[in-house]
Amino acid sequence: MRLTLERRDSTGMAGLLLSPLLAVALTLASSIVVFWALGQDPWRALNVYFLMPVSDFWGVQEVAVKATPLVLIAVGLALCFRSGNWNIGAEGQFLIGAICGGGIAVWTHGWGGPWVLPLMLVAGMVGGALYGLIPAILKTRLRVNEILVSLMLVYVADLLLDWLVRGPWRDPFGFNMPQTITFAPEATLPILFDGGRMNLGTVITLVVVAVATVVMARTLKGFEIKLVGEAPRAARFAGFDDKRLTLTVFAVSGALAGLAGVMEAAGTVRQLLPGFSPGYGFTAIIVAFLGRLNPVGCLIAGVFIAITFIGGENAQIILRLPRDMTLVFQGMLLFYILACDTLILYRPRLVPRRAPA
């Protein structure tokens, strides 16, 4: 006998909505086992990780700061994934957006005006979109695998940022540290509430989520994205150009990742330095799948993942747990999402092995 997976005839909407909730529940249950194995009180650890980050207004603001880039990138990735295109290099597009927008802040330092910040946001979006088009063009013209190309471009962007902040853009008064100058006030996003770091980028992200929701639910382009991803042959018969759509979704995904990058640089870090991203582009993949490739779902999932980021920082201080515990949670969550989705879409069956001829 051998175990095979047989696709189910139909999958109810309730099952699709239940899958991420079940994945979260299984992750929490596994976390209890991990905390117990580490000699920690599981209930105290869960409180530190998941409740303490939202126990006061300052913590809520920090969650919003972490969720903003995650949600913005995940919305763009959701568009790509729904159309059957796999953009795994959002981290690179995030960094390129930060470089393009941050470069304007460095260049105009000391003589800029109110026009600097809008120009930075536009430059970040354009830079991310052009960087995202590289794997799209190679896929549509030369049939190159977009997963490998987009992933390898992440390392190109990372090394480019490292070279810039250690070389031509290094702060001459930064005590030889690999970082740019601190951005001028006109090159930073305004803070929404005193005493916190939540900035205008959170509002922009909410607007993007609303627009993406309308596009996916109420427009022909949204229908095209879903049809090409679910039934490519039917889409071609309907007259939709899958190659043009590939270029479009990669450009939009890259633009949103680039916008997230420049907003992180101008709103939170307020300068460029190596490793200023804690892996938002890769974590956003988990957010997109946990959110069922839906913009509103990405918003909810992004807030949940952001809580684990802040909770992980709290656990380092209070519980003396390593920072990598957050990555363990995110890895378990991705595993359970994929496992639950597989069991919802497919039915395991035992079939007899064929006798050798």
pLDDT tens per residue across span 268-303: 999 999 988 889 999 999 999 989 899 999 999 999
Provide the pLDDT for residue 341: 83
Least confident of 14-18, 142-146, 236-240: 14-18
Provide the pLDDT for residue 189: 96
Rounding to the nearest 10 degrees, give the CA dihedral for residues 193, 195, 201, 207: -30
> CA-CA distances (angstroms) from residue 254 to 132, 214, 237?
5, 20, 28
End-to-end, the C-alpha distance of the chain in Å comes to: 17
Provide the pLDDT for residue 357: 56
pLDDT tens per residue across span 3-51: 787 777 766 667 777 888 889 999 999 999 999 998 889 999 999 988 9
Sequence-ordered alpha helix ranges (H) in 143-279:
146-166, 200-218, 220-230, 232-237, 242-263
pTM above 0.85, yes or no: yes
Residue bearing tokens 């026009």 = 115
Q: Which long-range contacts (CB under 8 A, 24 or more apart) does 163-171 make?
A: 164/99, 164/103, 164/272, 165/272, 165/273, 165/274, 166/274, 169/103, 169/106, 169/272, 171/271
